[in-house]
Amino acid sequence: MGKICQSTVLLTAWFNTSTGQFLEDAAIHLSGSNKNAAETYTAYKHRTSTQDPKLPYPPTKPSIDIPETREELWTLVGLDKEKFEHPPTHRWQMSQSGNWMIRRIPNSKVKGKPRIIYRSRNSSGLEGLSIVETEETDPALAPVRETEMAIKRQNSKDWDFFAYGSDGKLDAASLFYTRSGKTIKGPAPVSCLACHYNRRTRLFTNIPASYLVAEKFNSVGADSSNRP
């Protein structure tokens, strides 16, 4: 595994989104206001606790109460009881209940590791929920390095972003892989916003805009209702 470095400078190279428009949209997304966009963004970038009372995220109540642990999340959304016929592959597969789609990316460019995506279908009663787990390839470490979640905002086209660490607890950061092969820590949700932003539509969505074209070739059997 690459060296973990705290700096977010390298992430900025990935994002290339440091435009005023992005900052303004991110500030509205984070706090509900476009005032002091750069300050708002910076404050969230340095947020170390998801419970920071000065920096509450998201500004509007999500459709589910965001659990403190990955285990509670699994129970809440019913993934603890879901069964899949085959181990996940690159092709989308539906769960036996029909409530979830699952797919495995063997080597995610943004993680440098395999990733499993779970997307809720409308039949689950959970409108717009994507969960993705990074598989740890080092057997000495916890098998899931992180769990990330995107959930569609109520009465909005934007999605909110959350991360759980390898200890299964809600976290204010997540790990990413840079083009230079380093594993670095990025603050959540601001680093999520940078990649999951569509400059054209100005929306923050589960599927990164840069990924939409590639996605078309991999979405066989997928539920299209979750698309932005």
The interface region with ligand HEC, picked from 39-47, 76-84, 156-164, 216-224 by CB under 6 A, is 156-164
* Minimum distance from residue 64 beta carbon to ligand HEC (Å): 14
Is residue 187 helix, strand or coil? strand
Q: Which of residues 5-24 bind ligand HEC (CB under 6 A)?
A: 14
Output DSSP code: residue 226: G
Q: Does 105 bind ligand HEC (CB under 6 A)?
A: yes
* Minimum distance from residue 174 beta carbon to ligand HEC (Å): 4
Q: Does 153 bind ligand HEC (CB under 6 A)?
A: no
Q: For residue 151, what are the contacts with CB-CB under 8 A and spacing of at least 6?
A: 62, 63, 64, 66, 128, 129, 130, 159, 160, 162
Residue closer to ligand HEC, measured from CB, 27 or 151: 151
Q: Which of residues 117-146 bind ligand HEC (CB under 6 A)?
A: 117, 119, 130-132
Residue closer to ligand HEC, measured from CB, 35 or 59: 59
Q: Does 158 bind ligand HEC (CB under 6 A)?
A: no
Distances (CA, A) of 104 to 12, 30, 48, 166: 27, 30, 30, 19
> How many CA within 13 A on the CB side of residue 122?
5
149 CA to centre of own chain: 4
Largest CA distance in the chain: 50
Residue closer to ligand HEC, measured from CB, 140 or 200: 200
In the set 188, 204, 222, 228, which binds ligand HEC (CB under 6 A)? 188
Distance CA 100, CA 110 (A): 23
* Minimum distance from residue 48 beta carbon to ligand HEC (Å): 14
Segment holding 14, helix H or strand E: helix 9-15
Output DSSP code: residue 66: -
Residue closer to ligand HEC, measured from CB, 35 or 52: 52
Judged by the rule CB under 6 A, the positions of this chain that interact with ligand HEC are 14, 105, 108-111, 115, 117, 119, 130-132, 148-150, 161-163, 174, 176, 186, 188-189, 191-192, 194-196, 206-208, 211
